Amino acid sequence: MSSRTSSRSLAAAAGRNIVGLGTGASEATRISAPTSQPASRANSSQGLGTGVSQATCVSGSASRPASRANGSWRPSNTSDLLPVREQFLAHPRALTTPHRSAKASDDIGAKDLQVGLPRATGANSKLETRVALDDEQKTALRRVFAWCDADSDGVLNAAEFAAAQRLVAELSPEFDNMAATSIWDSVKNASSGGLVDENSFFQAMHCLTGALKLPRKVLLQGILRQTSGHSSHFDRSVSDLKHALVRNVSSLPGDDSVMAPPPPGPLWRTATGSSTFLLPPGAAGGPAAARVAFKLMQYLAMRTEDCTIIDSELAAKMMGHRRMFKDMLDMTGDICGVHVVAPGSKSTVDLFLMKSPDAEQLFRVRVIGLQLSPGPDLRLVGMGNFDAGPVQQSDIPASLWNEICVQTAVAQSAPEETSLTAPPPPASLERQSSMLGDADLQDAALVLAAVPVARHLFRIKLNLESQARPATHYVMLLPRLKTAEVGHVRYGDHRIAIKQTGSVGCDVKSTSFKNFVISNIQGAQLSNMVIEHEFTAHRVRLQTRAVASASQVMPVPDLSAEERACNLGDDASRAASLRATLDSQGLGRRSGERDIAFAVRLGKALCSGYAYDVAITDSHVRNLPTLIWEQRRGDCSAFNAGFVYALRAFGIPARVSLGFKYGRAVAQACGSVVAPHAEAEFFAEGIGWVPCDATLGLRRLGHDASSALSFVEWRPATMSVAEAQELARVLQMPQDPWQQLVKEGLQNKLEKLINGQVNAKELSAALSTARGISESASLACVDRVMELLGETVQLSTDTFVKCLAAMELGTFRELGTGGGLSETSRAGVKMFEGGPWSGDPLDPKQMKECMMVPEQMHRIMEHVGAENTVMDWSAMWPYGVFTCSYEFEEKPILP
């Protein structure tokens, strides 16, 4: 995804379109636990332990106040309390309360948790009272509870509780890693002990934080930092992984298929004894790093609670991220193979994932910088970072792929009773694919097949950022999605609704056009207004006609002359330069090469040797058609604009799609269910408009409609003539090429000079006279239009004027700019102060353009590596600034 989200660029054009999200992978960094402790602390095992014991450990004798001595915490009367480490190891179950319903939480474990609290002893002792946790402290500790509750069941098991204690105790300068490790080692399998609910957790943490003697501010800030997801190298590597998944994957299919039962093979029985896993090819009998990487991912993805191979400090920091890894494997599939890319002291290991033997997509998670402890007792003590993305079969080593095929074939053909015969020879998996082979792409009869999957609903609420009162009137533009009815097959239909959630204000008055909806909004209505975009999302695949279901085949739309001109439009000299650049790289179009075959070959070239780079895009926003081919770097807008204008240069109509990626994966990456993104569509002769995403290379054709990860196109990057004609009815846009030609009266001038169908020479002479330009300039203009339209189009003055406007509309301009309708792509809505619209075109001089900003933009900016600050958008724009909040809902398709 891409950004272009700097405050400078946002302010420059009333919030010019933000088309994506992205960040580069961070450098590999070592995450490891201390290997030794200072001598002054090595003799004591209580650093974390004393606080823990006072919170959780059972003792039959009275408790004594804790005291500090020799730089560590210890009980003040060791005759009453066993040393913390020994006591804990002797009674590991005392860490947690017996398993009971979370609803009966008022007294769960109260006695166990209160044993060991500082208590007055002796006649002269003054009773120490503990101040109850206040709301702010509870809020902070609730963050710790939620962070460590990996399975989100509302209670902590032994390992989760131990990790929570460690995260808090680490805030103390006298934290004892050895004691913490001992505690973790005794419960890390989470196979013993009961469960701790929130109330019991508060009681335990009350004791622990009291024992730490930390200033309140230090404690609260430390807890916020520990649970921020950015406090450690591992946190940052996971943040990179979340973004890489969103950035590198176009969409995720809603594939509910499951792997076949595993065949007989090498097994890993976890230390918990509760699970047994087949070691996948590459891990069974392979290098130690392969087995460790597999076991690490199984733990992270909550397939097992066995973390015996993971250092305690690392495991504690992983706890809050396990839900994300589980979701990732749920979306992409389980591990089917492992390959050690770079062995050594810091190994790099590839984990290959697929949902089922016939799954369309293969994924790779690369684990970088694995560091293992020496000796026979292997333990992961450090690691760098992750990367993730889709791969092709050819990206998997051939020998490993053969093993995967053998194992899968055995699993699929295994009878009820285990066969003792030898496994069948390697066979290619019959995997579905939206990327057909070269021969099919060039010669086969191909179609687009679309299947309705679900109803997707976006709710948008607008919040006026400034403290000033809203304007009296606003005019709102809402884009209509391009649907299968007009040949764009991602969506089946689109419904727009504007609702009032309260009783303030009158009904919203709206007028529907074919390409947009215009509404008059009163300022008093804003706070209670909800905009709804609801559409049927399609799963779209390119298939051979022989295998496609007749009911799913989409008809090929007719491409009008002005549509062709708009989607081929570009500056003639730039198109010629781009052709020369691609020819020099061996990427030019070959003689007789079919549209679809050339598009796939060109897109596949972007898979290798091209890098994702947000910064270079932001500094070359006006050169996106050539940026990726010249610099070999860019974000999603650079990849897709470069792909689109390269196709146009070789005669294939194409367009950039602007909108949002959305779904669970996006929410994990940046805290918002949506993030701005750019994709592409191209018109393949005999097939129709093919949707795709060329970011980091074209790996798939089509579209997916799952709630895990999908894309909604609010608008194409450029307007068509039909759209420009509609927009002219409601809003005067002096810079719009169509409105300029209408104002110039070019068609009337030409019709006075010539009538009916004309040839290029006659049209050139008339154009020279009508516009007062040289004959050479007019001839170049006519030749360019004729070149875009081809020889079969019968040219008339009406067709020529429309195609001339279409060509200029299609010529590249900064994405998401160039008119009110184009700018709806930024947020799914565009607002203007002024109006109301009463049927006549609004004068732009009387309208004040508002800035539209997604509510979580600061989180998106953080993930793209931009300024990590919350912007005061209202101070950056002289008129209204609206932040837009989004809710997403997936509904079933009713019969």
For 199-242, write each residue's pLDDT tens digit.
Answer: 888 888 888 877 777 788 888 898 888 888 777 778 888 878 88
DSSP conformation class of 547? T
Q: For residue 259, which phi and psi values (nearest 5 degrees)?
A: -65, 150
Q: CA 884, CA 517: separation in Å to the nearest integer?
A: 18
Across 32-41, 296-305, 552-561, the highest mean pLDDT is recorded for: 552-561
836 upstream amide cis, omega within 30 of 0: yes
Confidence of residue 389 (pLDDT cuts 50, 70, 90): confident
Pick the closest to residue 842 from 742, 723, 730 (CA basis). 730
Confidence check: pLDDT of 32 > 90: no
Q: Among 4-18, 506-520, 592-606, whose mean pLDDT is lowest?
A: 4-18
Q: What pLDDT, on a 0 to 100 scale, did the predictor assign at position 9?
A: 40
**With bands split at pLDDT 50, 70 and 90, how would you rate the model's confidence at 44?**
very low
Question: Quick check: 107 pLDDT over 90?
Answer: no
Query: What digits encode the pLDDT tens for the residues 344-384?
Result: 889 999 999 987 766 667 889 999 999 998 877 788 999 88
Helix axes 135-148, 216-226, angle to 10 degrees: 30
Res. 416: pLDDT tops 50: no
pLDDT given at position 156: 86
Residue with the larger pLDDT of the pair 128 and 361: 361
**Strand segments (E) across 699-818:** 710-716
Sequence-ordered alpha helix ranges (H) in 444-571:
561-566
Residues 58, 97: Cα–Cα separation, whole Å: 11
- Sign of the Cα pseudo-torsion (833, 834, 836, 837, in order): negative
Residue 132 above 90 pLDDT? no
Three-state SS annotation for 67-96 = EEECCEEEECCCCCCCCHHHHHHHCHHHHC
Is the per-residue pLDDT at 7 higher than 60?
A: no
Highest mean pLDDT among 22-36, 172-186, 602-616, 725-739: 602-616
Out of 54-68, 630-644, 821-835, the most confident range is 630-644
**Angle in degrees, CA 154, 160, 162, rounded to 5:** 135
Q: Which stretch, 89-98, 144-153, 617-626, 681-690, has highest mean pLDDT? A: 681-690
> Cα dihedral sign for 842, 844, 846, 850?
positive
Is-contact 292 372, C-beta < 8 A?
yes
Across 285-291, average pLDDT: 89
CA distance 867 to 668: 20
Q: What is the pTM of this model?
A: 0.78
**pLDDT greater than 90 at residue 600:** yes
C-alpha 328/C-alpha 245 separation (Å) is 8
Residue 403: count of CB within 10 angstroms of its CB: 19
Comparing CA positions, the residue from 314, 373, 366 lying closest to residue 28 is 366
Could you tell me which of 528, 531, 533 has the C-alpha nearest to residue 470?
Answer: 528
The residue ranking higher by pLDDT, 390 or 538, is 538
For residue 732, count CB atoms less than 10 angstroms from its CB and return exposed for 0-12, middle for 13-18, buried for 19 or more. Answer: middle
- Whether 652 and 709 have beta carbons less than 8 Å apart is answered as no
The better pLDDT of the pair 386, 424 is held by 386
Compute the distance between CA of residue 638 and CA of residue 628 in angstroms, rounded to an integer. 6
Among 162-176, 618-632, 784-798, whose mean pLDDT is lowest?
784-798
Q: Is the Cβ–Cβ distance between 404 and 423 less than 8 Å? A: no
Q: Comparing 435 with 224, which gets the higher pLDDT?
A: 224
d(CA 676, CA 19): 5
Give me the pLDDT at residue 743, please.
79
pLDDT value of position 240? 80
Can you tell me the distance from the alpha carbon of 400 to that of 406, in angstroms, rounded to the nearest whole number?
10
Confidence of residue 410 (pLDDT cuts 50, 70, 90): low
Tell me the pLDDT of the chain averaged across its residues: 77
637 with 617: CB under 8 angstroms? yes
Predicted pLDDT at 274: 54
DSSP class of 609: S
Q: Does the pLDDT at position 99 exceed 80?
A: no
pLDDT at 270: 54
Say how far apart CA 744 and CA 738 lie, in whole Å. 10
Rounded to a whole number of angstroms, the CA Rg of the chain reads 32
Query: What are 461's strand-pairing partners?
Result: 530, 885
Residues sharing a CB contact under 8 Å with residue 125, sequence separation 6 or more, in sequence order: none
Bridge partners of 388, per DSSP, are 365
